[in-house]
Chain A
Amino acid sequence: MYEHDVVVVGAGGAGLRAAIAAQEAGADVAMVSKLHPVRSHTGAAEGGINAALRDADSWEDHAYDTMKGSDYLGDAPAVEALCRESPEEVIRLEHWGMPFSREDDGRVSQRPFGGLSFPRTTYAGAETGHQMLHTMYEQVVKRGITVYDEWHVMDLAVTDEDDPAERTCHGVVGYDIQSGEVSGFRANNGVILATGGMGQVFDHTTNAVANTGDGVAMAYRAGVPMEDMEFIQFHPTTLPSTGVLISEGVRGEGGILYNEDGERFLFERGYANNDGELASRDVVSRAELTEVNEGRGIEDEYVHLDMRHLGEERILDRLENILHLAEDFEGADGLTEPMPVKPGQHYAMGGIETNEHGETAIGGLYAAGECACASVHGANRLGGNALPELIVFGKRAGRHAAGEELGEAKIETGRSGDWQPADYEFGIEVGETGRPDTAAADGGAVAADAESVVGAAADRAQERVEELLSRDGRNHAEIRSKVQETMTANVNVFREEGRLEKTLADLRETREAYKDIAVSDPSRTFNTDLIHTIETRNILDVAEALTMGALAREEFRGAHWRKEHQERRGCARAWHLAPRPLP
């Protein structure tokens, strides 16, 4: 068993920032990550980081924009923290050497972004996330922070009081991908989940293959409330075969979307008579899918994004990178043919409920980054607001976990009263997540000491690994793609009650099927078959929570479209979705 003051799960932007903050606050900190830190998906972010740096700008304006973008579902204390602290965090990155793009006077450049009242998106070329990730990893190297890379965290080690709010998290259980060793990681002060997005719940996403929502699922099983899971952002122009993002810049420059009949459908079919291609993401995504659903999609799958009419010179000048993307990842030549695009899952606004210090309802358990929901994005995220979230809340969680005093949190977590998913009666019994594998072995051991909680959790995980490796059964790929299919068909951009319910039923069935899952590769080294099998359960848990949220939210708000409920409800506050009560 390994022991540290603070254990950070995940080494993307949020995890790295949390680890650095905890270390600066004097804690002995370790990061446990299934990927080497520089492989984290933060590296894929391109656009930029919003921060009110200029005299003419103010954090209040940024907060206002964010609130408006969130469709007024953001939590004010969290939004305030984000916008107030983003400038100092961005400058800190600059002091750590992050190579931002520069103005003539040598200051960092900023650019306009959708939904912002001031051009405050600070960027580093078209690879902001890459630069940010690497800059922070460099600081981790400098500080000599321990990194357990290629360790897959399987579950949390949490005490098992009946009321989740009384539970305490004492650590995690990790599986060393290289050696096959299962080991507990005891955290004396706190565990910080920073496991990133959950895009793999859908079959078409801009997210990485590793973004399987592990942290969310682990917290869910441990009894932490999930918040706003139903709010998923879909991006209208992603490449069909890989999900690689084609920037809005193409449409900004005058790129046109066509359906199979060669119609400029946004106008000709009346989806957006004023803005056409430049309408907001949700509108364009829905329009594209409607075309495909009504049989006017190309190969029944995608539409065409055409920029040929802009002329070779202009394309090479402004959009050369797009040519490379289309060519490298789709084998399409944007100069001579239209590029295929379709909507893809892009970002999860919701996640593990936290307050503005990153604390969850369970003692000693924190979350930050895309897997968390301190609730700054509400029903829709503004472009460029995710990266500042990583550094601001990563830092806060790190400090708090290391024992630094940050004052009383204004946001409450785990409001017991709100725990049922509003007043919604699910027409169907949802599947059973079961207890977390890793809860202390004996139900009664409320006062169990940390050591035995983590030890017992590790033993269970070990047992599970042995069982998966030794038995015969189904393969994860089949189950994973079933989940992805049903989610993409029914909980995508369009959501209808009947189909959401059907999805819950499908998921339940899949959960049954998962019970006889097995790993066919018996190897103890780099057994990705095993890792994918473990991840598949996380995908299942996340998919279920997401679908329940989508059913429970009976309104059309932000990114969440409901066929039967085309109105926005009056109430401003989000309700929170309850996790499955433990049996």
Chain B
Amino acid sequence: MSTQIPKQTEESTETDAKTEPASKGDERRAEKRRRAAERREQRQEEAAEKAADDESTVELKVFRYDPQIEGKQEPRFDTFHVPFTKGMTVLDALMYARDTYDSSLTFRHSCRQAVCGSDAMFVNGGQKLACKTQIAELDEPVRVEPLPHAEGRKDLVVDMEHFYDQMEAVEPYFQTNEFPDGELEEQRQDRENREKIKMSTRCIWCGACMSSCNIAAGDNEYLGPAAINKAYRFAMDDREGEEIKQKRLEIIEQEHGVWRCQTQFSCTEVCPKDIPLTEHIQELKREAVKNNLKFW
């Protein structure tokens, strides 16, 4: 399965398709697509009705807060009316509002294509990547707020430090004691194994999952779905070898590790990269139990 490939030829698409058979994540994507299509149809009908009312603008209600500016210290919602264009995303609308009405409207964004993970926000009550969320699929007015359970810094910007700390707490780097001999020798990995870790490597550190998880909200030390997923990515990589795997399991088994997860599935629902987070967490729990049973 592939996303856009800039310079590929016909053959390469084939190789790609062969290498990576449809996985669970892909199924989920298909499911989401279907749902989105249904929603879209519904919206289109509504949009038609609306057009009759001459409503080609979108109403955005945006959370505003700045601890340094008098008058903004008390959080409030500002309303912006943005002309709707086909294909407009929440990010497009925010940028329009900022560039047209209020240049102090603040939010993080960069790639506009769901790879940099900067713009996870709380849109109409759900964690979404603004750049990957079509306005046409949302009910109006569109309410945009910063991610819940993170410290608000200003407008839609939240403090990501805690999230980064959790990500970095799981030793998120490849380790092995089993290096191949030659400099140019690869550490071979079979296709199944690469396939197994494929979805877990897609995380873009957006923090949506962490924000959606009630356990993470209650227990600040809980590693959280993204960090556990990161640990999964390495623990399941055969190239690291058994010894390191033991160490990995110890990390995720810490008190605020996998056992905290209560399979809420919220993380899996909101992940913009369709990573089956709950599944990965559950698999690690089982690995850990198996591992411990050996010593009982």
**Interface residues, chain A, with chain B CB atoms under 8 Å away:** 35-36, 38-41, 43-47, 53, 87-88, 91, 94-97, 99-109, 111-114, 119, 121, 124-127, 129-131, 134-135, 138-139, 141-142, 178, 208-210, 235, 239-249, 252-253, 317-325, 327-333, 340, 346, 382-384, 475-477, 481, 519-529, 532
Contacts and interface: CB of A to CB of B under 8 A. Distances in A.
Given A102-B194, A141-B168, A321-B3, A526 B153 contact: yes
Main secondary structure of the interface of B (DSSP, over half): loop
Given A47-B8, A242-B89, A325-B3, A106 B153 contact: no
B208 interface: no
A111 to B, nearest CB: 4
A330 B8 CA distance: 22
Interface in B77-115: 85-89, 92, 98-100, 103-104, 106-107, 109-115
Interface residues of B, number: 89
Contacts of A532: 103
B117 interface: yes
Contact of A242 (B19, B112, B233): B112
Nearest to A532: B103
A107 B19 CA distance: 13
Contact of B186 (A107, A138, A141): A107
Contacts of B109: 209
A125 B2 contact: yes
A405 B247 CA distance: 39
Interface string B146-174: 00000001110100100010001001111
Top-10 shortest CB links A-B: A97-B174, A383-B7, A106-B188, A521-B104, A126-B2, A138-B173, A321-B3, A111-B12, A142-B173, A247-B4
A320 B118 contact: no
Nearest to B133: A328
Interface in B35-72: 36-37, 40, 66-69
A36 to B, nearest CB: 7
Given A178-B153, A247-B5, A44 B113 contact: yes
Interface stretch (B197-205, B212-220, B254-262, B263-271): B197-205
A102 B19 CA distance: 8
B89 A329 contact: yes
A548 to B, nearest CB: 28
Given A101-B20, A332-B87, A43 B3 contact: no
Contacts of B136: 331
A383 B6 contact: yes
Given A124-B201, A325-B113, A520-B103, 5 more contacts: A106-B190, A125-B1, A126-B2, A209-B109, A235-B6
B12 A249 contact: yes
Given A249-B13, A324-B33, A331 B7 contact: no
Given A126-B16, A523-B66, A111 B8 contact: yes
A35 B116 contact: yes
Nearest to B111: A208
A244 B112 contact: yes
A253 B106 contact: no
B124 interface: no
A575 to B, nearest CB: 29
